[in-house]
Structure 1
């Protein structure tokens, strides 16, 4: 199984992305990877989507936290998006020991 691709855990220094003196990213395009297949999502893949899945507490109230998943157009075209998101979310729940 592959790890979930979380946008908030990107180390921009390792990716060698242009930054100004204040550390603000100045790149016009930052490549993403598909969370389900680990393929690179190109700038021309207009069928790709990025999902923010909100975390809920035991009462079903939004906690303000979310997990970001990216799906490439290939996965969506094959009809595997739903099962891919379900598989990734189940893995995420096991990693964080939630129910």
Structure 2
């Protein structure tokens, strides 16, 4: 067993993908969604996915679907789904 003086964090907070807010440990309404990347035939590529974290604030306002569509379109997973309309 090696004894080193390296400090290891027990908790690393996540950031909301839609708002860049830090998701606190007590935010029980937050979710993390993994979307698999697929090949040309529509099969999932093993171990290759994109992760989105959405905070409870976004979900509580009812904007999770819109935010997820916007993020997926920015990453090239969707085409012509989200458009800003406010």
TM-score range, shorter chain: 0.7 to 0.9
The normalised TM-score by structure 1 is: 0.67
Q: Map of 1:27-66 to 2, 5 A cutoff? A: 27-64=9-46, 65-66=48-49
Q: Which runs of 4+ in 1 moved over 6 A?
A: none
The normalised TM-score by structure 2 is: 0.77
CA RMSD of aligned residues (A): 2.4
Unaligned runs of 5+ in 2: 80-86
Larger radius of gyration: 2
Which structure is higher in strand share?
A: 2
Aligned to 2:84: none
Unaligned runs of 5+ in 1: 1-19
Q: Map of 1:14-93 to 2, 5 A cutoff? A: 21=4, 26-64=8-46, 65-93=48-76
Distance (Å, rounded) in 1 between the aligned partners of 2:16 and 2:31: 9
Which structure is higher in helix share?
A: 1
Count how many residue pairs are aligned between Structure 1 and Structure 2. Answer: 75
Distance (Å, rounded) in 2 between the aligned partners of 1:63 and 1:32: 25
